[in-house]
Structure 1
Amino acid sequence: MSTFLTFLAGCVLMVVLVALAQRLLGFRAQKSADYAKLEPPVDIRHHLSGPIRCEGVIYGPMGRVTSRFTADMDGRWDGNRGVLAEHFTYDSGTKQDREWRLTLGNDGRITAEADDLVGAGWGQQTGGALHLNYTIRLPESAGGHTLQVTDWMYLVDDKTIVNRSQFRKFGIKVAELVATLRRVDA
């Protein structure tokens, strides 16, 4: 019995160490300051403005693609307040609309609201990157689950942003999204 308990304690310790390493070294360990000198600098009033085309994939918890999508977006700004309308089409044929209401503070802080968020999201734009953290409620057709989301967006050039998002339930990653957003010339 003691061999089993030793094995079990070793497994628990390994799980704790892996979780700690991911928290301290992985995706969620990124900070805005990590990208402060990354050029060109992102400004959501410019880079999330006008027509935008998005293509992406969603990975399930085992790292396999579970869904592909395209989206047509349109951003409109009045000073530091903006609306980003998104119209998604998934490979299953499902369509989804979301309207983000964004506010940019003079210090680069971002607050975000949308009808399917639980409370407000918050984030920061610094250098060539921005991040958002929020809690989203999935549609009933997708289970109605509430997930914690971390978005990181990296400016590639004046017209292209790469977005990487992780979705967690009880701290466990259940999905990841990778997408490219490209401003469309009007």
Structure 2
Amino acid sequence: MTGLAIFVLGLLVAFAAVALKDRYLGFKAQGPGDYANAGPDIDLRRHLNGPILCEGVIYGPTGRVTSRFVADFDATWEGDKGQMTEEFTYDSGATQSRIWTFSLGNDGTIRADAPDLVGSGHGMQMGSAIHLRYRIRLPADSGGHVLDVTDWMYLMENGAIMNRSQFSKFGIKVAELVATMRPKEAA
């Protein structure tokens, strides 16, 4: 076997190992069924309803905090249709607004839409967790890139929601967000 063939074979094995790690051991390896009987049951209509305070940090590709934010959310529901407005204030002084619309299926499925999404987001609420996947276009001043997002929200015993999101481009993680959400009157 030539040196080039050994090198190429080594690259293929390395890529396969990374793909298997992500599929079976990483953040993306979890599924909604993992939380079917874990903790209190989450329901978007109940737990993301009314005025909500959100606080979080964004990590860059090196794992360092690149931004902090505080946000005010306000969610309303009519049956299985909901709308949530988000008003973010970042540590840089920048602000950002987003309006989500949600549709819930009888089987726990979620459809999510927002103006900066490319297509619709899709997910599932099951047990104590919500899983949502979507593609988002960053603002022009952040490069305008389209990123793939894997979003997990976990209901805590006290009613707060822990949110962890990973953002990737071409399958490579470029950012991560960790945030808490809780009813504003409890803040």
Q: TM-score, normalised by structure 2?
A: 0.93
Matched residues in 2 for 1:61 and 1:12: separation?
24
Q: Match for residue 58 of structure 1?
A: 58
Aligned to 1:174: 174
- Aligned pairs for 1:156-167 within 5 A: 156-167=156-167
Q: Are 1:104 and 2:104 matched, yes or no?
A: yes
Deviations 1:15-59 (A, max 9, x none): 431232112221111111000001210000010001111111111
Displacement of 1:112 in angstroms is: 0.3
Partner SS for 1:17? helix
1:133-172 to 2 correspondences below 5 Å: 133-172=133-172
TM-score by length of 1: 0.94
Over the residues paired in the alignment, what is the CA RMSD in angstroms?
1.6
Unpaired segments of 5 or more residues in structure 2? none
Q: Distance in 1 between matches of 2:93 and 2:105?
A: 37
- State how many pairs are aligned: 186
**Ranges in structure 1 where 5+ consecutive residues have no aligned partner:** none
Structure 2: distance between partners of 1:4 and 1:67 = 43
Identity between Structure 1 and Structure 2 (%): 58
Runs of 4+ in 1 over 3 A off after TM superposition: 2-9
What does 1:116-131 align with in structure 2 at a 5 Å threshold? 116-131=116-131
Give the counterpart letter for 1:49 in structure 2: N
Cα distance in 1, alignment partners of residues 123 and 12 from structure 2: 33
Q: 3-state SS of the aligned residue for 2:23? A: helix
For the residues of structure 1 that align with 2:158 and 2:148, how far apart are their CA atoms?
29
Residue 98 of structure 1 and its aligned partner are, at CA, apart by: 0.3
Give the counterpart letter for 1:154 in structure 2: Y
8 Å Cα contact 1:47/1:158 also seen in 2: no
Partner of 1:69: 69
